[in-house]
Amino acid sequence: MALLEVENLEVCYGLIQAIKGVSFQVNEGEVVALIGANGAGKTTIMHSLCNLIPKKAGKVSFAGHDITAVPAHKLVPMGVAQVPEGRRIFQELTVAENLRLGYYTRNDKKEMEETLESMYERFPILKERSKQIAGTLSGGEQQMLAMSRALMSHPKLLLLDEPSMGLSPLYVNTIFDMIKQVNKEGTTVLLVEQNAKKALAIADRAYVLEIGKIAKSGTGAELLADDSIRRAYLGG
Amino acid sequence: MNTLINGLCLGGIYALIALGYTMVYGIAKMLNFAHGDIIMVGAYAIFSTMALMGHAVPAIVVAVVVCTLLGLLTERVAYRPLRGASPLAVLITAIGVSYLLQSIAQLIYGSKSRAVSLGNFGSVELFNVSISISSLITLGLCLIIMVALTLFIKKTKVGCAMLAVSEDRAAAQLMGINVNGIITLTFAIGSALAAFASTFYLMQIPSVTPTLGSMPGIKAFTAAVIGGIGSIPGAMIGGILLGVIEKLALSIPALAPYTTAIEFGLLIIILLVKPTGLLGKKRREKV
């Protein structure tokens, strides 16, 4: 059974239908990538999965539960965490406060400190800056913080929306290494990316989104080798 | 000296009210123009309880309970259905709630002013000046309330969640924060502060009318804007600043008739120099 199952999802902005019946699945333990050009509807799908914007039609289930209409804040305790596009860390709070908010829905002080410590181990820079206001971090550090903050809730499924956007190549590698690492530790990942090459390289399976519809799907390696994909997304 | 204490005292009251405006604005992103009238309802609650029981302490407790419930009720009935509606619709609704509360008060109590005495506290000699004890109580309690509120926001998990909702509502939801719950709590806190404000107000001016909330409401809103709307320390500083200026201007005979003009003039000057208010931050518009 798929961990996340999306069936015939449709999303509208006013009269404009942005997502025109999209279906895909993410199985437990996988990294699944959703790639596509700017405006294809990747972020719209991510937002609608967590009901930050309403769905027009379709069904979403997670671990056998129907979560089509479950509000975002109730998804976190179920095991769904999203790192939104543009990181959206709380700029005016400290690094440590941001991380603690990631643990908001759980209530075990000891476990929280342990989780916090494991995040600091992964990214020692966050520990060094734990008392610093998050808005003063660099873009790459903010992305690390955003991902660590999401992991604080011990999610089963991590939704990553454009984690490499606007980052230097060095940080892009760090972030993709982290995604592999997190997946190896047992978290299932749905990754939305414009950096198709990197995304396909780490994805077990991937879907190609074109103007609100799934145009193609396959394993990461298959799509990397596909000529039309190469031309459209990988620069020849 | 006495003017300064009185000014700080009035400033404390303005600050308590301004906190209600600024917290609701920061978290729910709306201007609750009915906030001043919550103070009026609190004052009538004190009046009625005093008439029944004749003692100040239960009257204050009743006022806090009534105001808190009223804040929750208006949020639930009037504002929550409009979440996501245009800010103008919410603003007009808030003004409607304000008139509604005033009219209900007028229906129940009539439009004549009613006298409320919370007791005579006398005065003490400090540094050769006689200072009324009620002023000292007001000042002390305002300080305690503001410190407690600051600690609550800075040190507790829920306080941190309030700051998160105020900065980025969608991201806060993704943390598992129930935004509606936080907004409800904000209204409850703001209204409870308003009840304390009405208590202190009655200690200074012991009478109540259905429009009692209008002027302190407007002044406190001005204070919140001067301090930077959405900023909690800003509301405290703005409130105290405005209270001190008001009492200073009133104590100088040549300026006294122009007191209100001076206060609003100050608002204009501050907005010209720093459009976001003293402690207000410029928000980057997200594209």
A interface test, pick of B155, B174, B285 with most A CB neighbours within 10 Å: B174
pLDDT of residue B285: 47
Query: Chain B window 128-157: which residues touch A at a Cβ cutoff of 8 Å?
Result: 157
The reply to whether A94 touches chain B by the CB within 8 Å rule is no
Buried/exposed B176-193: b ≥16 CB within 10 Å, e otherwise: bbbbbebbbbbbbbbbbb
**Those residues with Cβ within 8 angstroms of residue A168's Cβ, 6 or more apart along the chain or in another chain:** A139, A140
Token pair recorded at residue A64: 């056998």
What is the distance between the alpha carbons of residues B245 and B232, in angstroms, rounded to a whole number? 20
The reply to whether A82 touches chain B by the CB within 8 Å rule is yes
Strand A65-66 relative to strand A80-83, pairing: unpaired
Within 8 A of B164 by CB-CB distance, chain A residues are 90, 93, 101
Number of domains in chain A: 1
Instruction: Indicate the residue type of B254.
Output: A
Average pLDDT over residues A93-110: 94
| Nearest by CB: B176 against A52, A97, A153 | A153
pLDDT tens track for B5-42: 889 999 999 999 999 999 999 999 899 999 999 999 99
Confidence class for position B283, pLDDT limits 50, 70, 90: low
User: A91: domain range?
Assistant: 2-233
Task: Of A174, A146, A186, A195, give the one whose Cα is nearest residue A34.
Answer: A195
**Per the CB < 8 Å rule, is B168 touching A52?**
no
**Per the CB < 8 Å rule, is B160 touching A97?**
yes
User: Could you please report the per-residue DSSP string of B171-221?
Assistant: HHHHTT--HHHHHHHHHHHHHHHHHHHHHHHHHHS-EE-TTTTHHHHHHHH
Q: Is the pLDDT of residue B126 over 80?
A: no
pLDDT of residue B55: 85
Q: Is the pLDDT of residue B152 over 90?
A: yes
The reply to whether A136 touches chain B by the CB within 8 Å rule is no
Query: A15: domain CATH number?
Result: 3.40.50.300
User: Between the CA of residue B286 and those of A21, A40, A86, A88, B167, what are the distances in Å?
Assistant: 29, 20, 10, 10, 12
Task: Of A190, A178, A146, give the one whose Cα is nearest residue A46.
Answer: A190
Q: Percent of chain A beyond pLDDT 70?
A: 99
Average pLDDT over residues A211-236: 86
Token pair recorded at residue B265: 């003039």
What is the distance between the alpha carbons of residues A190 and A199, in angstroms, rounded to a whole number? 10
What are the structural domain ranges in chain B?
Answer: 7-222
- Whole-model pTM? 0.90
pLDDT of residue B103: 96
pLDDT tens track for B187-228: 999 999 999 999 999 998 889 999 999 999 999 999 999 999
Average pLDDT over residues B104-117: 91
Residue in chain B lying closest to A84 (CA): B171
Q: Is the pLDDT of residue B287 over 70?
A: no
Average pLDDT over residues B171-185: 96
Residue in chain A lying closest to B178 (CA): A73
Instruction: Indicate the residue type of B133.
Output: I
Q: Is the pLDDT of residue B284 over 60?
A: no
pLDDT of residue B286: 44
* DSSP-derived 3-state class of residue B255: coil
Residue in chain B lying closest to A74 (CA): B176
pLDDT of residue B120: 72
Average pLDDT over residues B170-186: 96
Confidence class for position B153, pLDDT limits 50, 70, 90: very high
Q: Is the pLDDT of residue A216 over 70?
A: yes
Task: Of B257, B103, B121, B99, give the one whose Cα is nearest residue B200.
Answer: B121
The reply to whether B158 touches chain A by the CB within 8 Å rule is no
pLDDT tens track for A135-164: 999 999 999 999 999 999 999 999 999 999
Confidence class for position B271, pLDDT limits 50, 70, 90: very high
The complex scores an ipTM of 0.92
**Per the CB < 8 Å rule, is B171 touching A88?**
yes
pLDDT of residue B125: 78
pLDDT of residue B135: 87
When mean pLDDT is compared across A221-225, B52-56, B95-99, B154-158, the lowest value belongs to: B52-56
| Nearest by CB: B168 against A75, A76, A88 | A88
The reply to whether B174 touches chain A by the CB within 8 Å rule is yes
Confidence class for position B246, pLDDT limits 50, 70, 90: very high
Within 8 A of B176 by CB-CB distance, chain A residues are 73-77, 104-105, 153
Torsion B147-B149-B153-B158 (CA) sign:
positive
